[in-house]
Amino acid sequence: MEFVGLVKELSGGVISRLLGVRDNAPGRLPDNELFNLGTSITSLVRLGRPRLAAPQVAKARSAVEILAGPVRHAYRSDDASTFPGRLRVLGLSEDEAVGIVSAFVIAGTETLVSYVPRLAALLFDDGRLPGLAADRSGLPDAVNEGLRYTAPSPMMLREATAAGRLGGVRIRAGDRILLSTVHAVKSLGGFDPGTPIPAAARQLWFGAGAHFCIGMPLAMAEINCALTVLLDEYSRRPWHIRSRAVSRNVLIPHYKALELARAN
């Protein structure tokens, strides 16, 4: 089983439900195409690029508008069971609903697809799968420690709102600051779910303060659900990693392919 492709497919299914699209809706895009729409936007971001060129902005807007169509339709309907419908009931405007759903689609699902295969490989390589499959009490610590160790948001971009100094470096208002999340959290040591994460570094890969990731609860729910299914499968019949390939020249580190096979 090629696990990365499966997680992408599942992530696309989550996207369709966030958009308020029913499984049998006419003209519904396949799950993998929905996922690719989100990654077509994140792929435009580069750490050394301060702003997007006009064609790149047009490409991003085009992708967002494709996602926005179903959101607007679901928002305007009388069905309050969809995510856009619930946002309407809570008093958010249609444009605000489009913005929130787009943020969830672009950020939350990207974390899932980059992280879950990496965590599966990490647990397999570290020999922790048999213990977790037998006793799930250690699952929350394994998930949080895996997020700390892999740092799915390795870099964060900020803009200084006022002049000051940081680490002895003078910063002017408007300066672009690149924060190395991966160095901050990996300085705590190797992968060890048994060691508590210091409070100052807890969930740092999801941001902090006003910049805390709005998609974090969704990402954590998806991660825990996917890993539970994976451990259930391992309990029924243990699997191992047959082959793997990493993606190159990407903003968020992830596996390009991760082939899982049942043990003989």
- Residue 137: half-sphere exposure toward Cβ, Cα within 13 Å: 2
Tokens representing 41 are 């936007």
Using one digit for the tens of pLDDT, what is the confidence trace for 91-147? Answer: 999 999 988 888 777 766 677 888 999 999 999 999 999 999 999 999 999 999 999
CB 191 within 8 A of CB 122: yes
- pLDDT at residue 23, as a whole number: 62
Q: Tell whether the model's pLDDT for residue 179 goes beyond 80.
A: yes
- pLDDT at residue 25, as a whole number: 54
- pLDDT at residue 176, as a whole number: 85
d(CA 3, CA 257): 7
Residue by residue, DSSP assigns the chain as -BHHHHHHHHHHHHHHHHHT--TT-TTPPPHHHHHHHHHHHHTT--TT-SS--HHHHHHHHHHHHHHHHHHHHHHHSS-TTSHHHHHHHTT--HHHHHHHHHHIIIIIHHHHHHHHHHHHHHHHHTT-HHHHHH-GGGHHHHHHHHHHHH-SS-EEEEE-SS-EEETTEEE-TT-EEEEEHHHHHHTT-S--TTSPPPGGGTTGGG--GGG--TTHHHHHHHHHHHHHHHHHHHHHS-EEEEEEEE--S-SS--EEEEEEEE--
- pLDDT at residue 95, as a whole number: 92
Q: Tell whether the model's pLDDT for residue 199 goes beyond 80.
A: yes
Q: Tell whether the model's pLDDT for residue 158 goes beyond 80.
A: yes
Q: Point out the least confidently predicted range of 30-39, 117-126, 178-187.
A: 30-39
Share of the chain above pLDDT 90, in %: 33
- pLDDT at residue 32, as a whole number: 61
**pLDDT tier at 41 (50, 70, 90 boundaries)?**
low
Second CATH level (architecture) for the domain 3-153+210-262: Orthogonal Bundle (1.10)
Q: Which residue has the higher pLDDT, 27 or 216?
A: 216
d(CA 215, CA 31): 19
Using one digit for the tens of pLDDT, what is the confidence trace for 204-250? Answer: 888 887 788 877 888 888 888 889 989 999 999 999 999 999 988 77
**pLDDT tier at 47 (50, 70, 90 boundaries)?**
low
Q: Which residue has the higher pLDDT, 14 or 245?
A: 245
- pLDDT at residue 249, as a whole number: 75
Q: Which residue has the higher pLDDT, 228 or 53?
A: 228
CA dihedral 186, 193, 222, 155 (to 10 degrees): 0
Domain boundaries, the chain: 3-153+210-262
CB 112 within 8 A of CB 227: no
Q: Tell whether the model's pLDDT for residue 149 goes beyond 80.
A: yes
Mean pLDDT across 64-90: 87
